Structure 1
Amino acid sequence: MIEQAVQARLVSSTPRAETVAATLRYNRSDPFAVRMAFPPAATLEGVEVSWAFARELLEAGIESRAGVGDVRVRPYGYGRTVLEFHATEGTAMVHIRTADLRRFLKRTHALVPVGGEHLHLDVDQDLAELLRDAL
């Protein structure tokens, strides 16, 4: 598993953006996904909140607008990337240094190269869990 702390600037309607420590996570057992966790102090519920989205989405969003669902990513000015998290409660926008995202993605590629994700899936176990939960 890879974890990397990043400084995320929460953008809100107030003139001042708040900086929070967030954590990017990647696990080879779920090779297509990246997770981003926000600490309790940064959330409305006062508990850690984690968003899961495609590693491919993060890579694409560094270069140009990507995503049409709950998570959207786009470049912002020089050296920043914006991640938008859409939920029924509202939208959270965070700015992160693009260099931090690139460093994180490079580490994920060393663990699971792009195109090799399928080699890390355990289809038999996933199917067994699915069938067990269905009974």
Structure 2
Amino acid sequence: MRRPLTIDHTVHVRLASRPGDRPVPATLRYDTSDPLAVRVAFPAEAALHGAEVTWVFARRLLDEGLRGPAGDGDVRFRPGLPGRTFMELKAPQGSALVELATEDLHRFLAATYAFVPQAVEAARLDVDGALAALLGSF
């Protein structure tokens, strides 16, 4: 089995509900040990409760969202103004519309595909390891 690799990419985001605020840094993360998922961590200053918040979603969702509206759950993407992409996040406490630079997202996605191409991501899943960890927790 290959050694896991993590890709972190810092981006600047703007909350659409606060257009006058300065952008805040967020971190996009891809871990080859979980090849189907992408994580985005928002710092405490951008979060509702003053603590860092991480959202997890399918890498394919991000890819689709760069071409058109995508998603029907808690995380959705859609193109915005030229060069901008919107990510909508829904939680029981409320929702947020986050604006990101489309080029940053393309660059991050390209880096993830360089390490785990879309065609082989399912083959990289460690189903046996995940099942053993799940059963070991009982």
Shorter chain as denominator, the TM-score bin is: over 0.9
When the two structures are aligned, how many residues end up with a matched partner? 133
Q: 2:127 maps to which residue?
A: 123
Work out whether 1:5 is the aligned partner of 2:7: no
| 2:3 aligned with 1:37 | no
User: CA offset at residue 22 of structure 1?
Assistant: 0.4
Structure 1 CA distance for aligned equivalents of residues 22 and 61 of structure 2 = 25
In the alignment, structure 2 segments of 5+ residues that lack a partner are: 1-5
Output the amino acid matched with 1:3.
D
Listed one character per residue, the Cα deviations across residues 98-127 of structure 1 (whole Å, up to 9, x for unaligned) are 000000000000110011112221111111
Which residue number corresponds to residue 51 of structure 2?
47
Summarize the Cα distance change of 1:29–1:15 in structure 2 as closer, same or farther, 3 Å threshold: closer
> Which runs of 5 or more residues in structure 1 are unaligned?
none
Q: 1:73-88 residue pairs with structure 2 within 5 A?
A: 73-88=77-92
2:107 corresponding residue in structure 1: 103
The CA RMSD over aligned residues, in Å, is 1.1
CA distance in 1 between counterparts of 2:132 and 2:46 reads 37
1:74 and 1:15 mapped to 2: Cα distance? 18
Question: TM-score, normalised on structure 1?
Answer: 0.94
The answer (yes or no) to whether the contact 1:4–1:104 under 8 Å persists in 2 is yes
1:91 aligns with 2:95: yes
Q: Kindly provide the amino acid, as one letter, of the partner of residue 7 in structure 1.
A: H
- CA–CA distance in structure 1, aligned partners of residues 36 and 128 of structure 2: 17
Percent of aligned positions that are identical: 51
